[in-house]
Structure 1
Amino acid sequence: MATTIITDGVKVSVETQYQPEYSNPANEHFMFAYKIHIENLSDYTIQLMRRHWSIFDSNGSHREVEGEGVVGLQPVIEPGESHEYISGCNLKTDMGSMKGEYQMLRLLDNTVFDAQIPEFYLIAPFKMN
């Protein structure tokens, strides 16, 4: 089930999956994949310029990640079009969360705005039992 938010005509949806084959719980290494679907519901062509993540681990630690684009791209998204990518995050515990924003550029007038990334949870399936 996806977590979704819409900001200024940009719909961001997130789905997560625990990656047991890349995790090593004995060494406090828990790997999660997340799939992001960005849909342009506005009437304007936009470009994703930067990302900012706040990552929270259930042990109380928190880190910030910033950078250009997503997975090496700064995609241009036409009205009614979408962009999807998969990335990953490692935690030191079996559960945590992420949230953030994408800095978007409206190409018509070079207006910069932030599209929110909804908070989503990274939880190893065995934690649910």
Structure 2
Amino acid sequence: MSTSDAYRIAVEAVAEFIPAQSNPDEDHFVFAYHITIRNTGTVPARLVSRHWIITDGTGKVQEVHGQGVIGEQPLLEPGEVFRYSSGSVLETAVGTMHGSYQMEATDGHRFEAEIPPFMLAMPRVLH
């Protein structure tokens, strides 16, 4: 087993448009996203902080840094899953999000868990 096998986190994201909170006439598009974080490594690891890169349909980029997620810094044992939901507001009907979680293993090793890019899109906007 290599060192990198010890420190592995898999991240999945699913986004949805929230029409009740959106107002397209005022360029206000609200999206929820649901994240699943799974420790696929062999060492317990805590999610310490997050870094999001949010790009709207015009190419405008917002970066968000913060401690933990939804007010928590979950410790994931090997094989354990943590799920949470949050949201993002765009000025366009389409955008993308990606980023990383900064993790700290119980042995003190720090590493990044990539959040793969996912699409934010109002239904029937993309063909």
Q: What is the root-mean-square deviation in Å for CA atoms of aligned residues?
A: 0.9
Moved over 4 A (4+): none
C-alpha separation between the residues in 2 aligned to 1:96 and 1:106? 32
* 3-state DSSP of counterpart to 1:26: helix
Shift of 1:126: 2.4
| Residues in 2 aligned to 1:128 and 1:98: alpha-carbon distance in whole angstroms | 16
Q: Distance in 1 between matches of 2:79 and 2:63?
A: 31
TM-score, normalising length from structure 2?
A: 0.92
Within the candidate set 98, 115, 126, 2:124 is matched to 126
Question: Paired residue for 1:111?
Answer: 109
Equivalent residue for 1:5? none
Structure 1: 5+ residue stretches without partners: 1-7
Q: 2: distance between equivalents of 1:41 and 1:53?
A: 22
TM-score (norm 1): 0.91
Which position in structure 1 is the counterpart of 2:3? none
Q: Percent of aligned pairs with the same residue? A: 42
Tell me the alpha carbon deviations over residues 75-115 of structure 1, each in whole angstroms, 9 at most, x when there is no partner: 000111110000000100000000000000001x2111000
Q: Which residue of 1 aligns with 2:81?
A: 82
Secondary structure of 2:103 counterpart? strand
Whether 1:56 aligns to 2:45 is no
Distance in 1 separating the partners of 2:126 and 2:95 = 13
Unaligned runs of 5+ in 2: 1-6
Mapping for residues 35-46 of structure 1, pairs under 5 Å? 35-46=34-45
Q: Distance in 2 between matches of 1:106 and 1:120?
A: 26
Which residue is 1:21 aligned to? 20
Task: Report the Cα distance in structure 1 between the residues aligned to 2:126 and 2:59, rounded to whole angstroms.
Answer: 20
CA distance in 2, matches of 1:96, 1:104: 26
